[in-house]
Amino acid sequence: MGIWFVLMAFDAQRFHWSSIPVWLQAAGACSIVAAFAGWISVMRENSFASAEVRAQKERGQTVISTGPYSIVRHPMYAYAVLLIVGTALLLGSTWGLVGLFWLMPLLGARAAAEEEVLMSELPGYAEYAAKVKYRLVPGVW
């Protein structure tokens, strides 16, 4: 992931390999704000949100199906996509957008791995997954 940031910085500030219109840069800024607002809503809904993939039985973890979790099963990752796209746009780096082609499969793999753990260790997750069909992008996946 680090190389993606370096490439984007070189593109946006050092070599100016690409350019993006100002209105798209403004959309990128809005996307970043939306990502952080979304993360706040995720944290409010789910006190079990963690960087570590595991069921937190010792804390009495339950399935969260309200707020952004009523739309997609992994809203934190969905908001990460908004941040990634927004950062590339705000910096004016088309090369930053190219990073999505390898970053999206990584996020998808992480979400799928997390689902395996939650399906096997968190009571009620299978029913929740049947109800909320999409993992990251409503109507897509």
pLDDT in tens, the chain (141 residues): 567 667 777 777 767 778 889 999 999 999 999 999 999 999 898 877 766 665 666 666 788 888 899 999 999 989 998 998 998 899 888 888 887 888 888 888 989 998 898 888 888 889 999 999 988 888 777
**Contact assessment for residue 93 and residue 16, using Cβ atoms and an 8 Å cutoff:** no
41 vs 12: CA distance, rounded Å: 31
**Contact assessment for residue 31 and residue 1, using Cβ atoms and an 8 Å cutoff:** no
Q: What is the pTM of this model?
A: 0.82
Contact partners, residue 74, CB within 8 Å, separation at least 6: 111, 114, 135, 136
**Contact assessment for residue 90 and residue 25, using Cβ atoms and an 8 Å cutoff:** yes
Q: Hey, what are 128's tokens? A: 């929740």
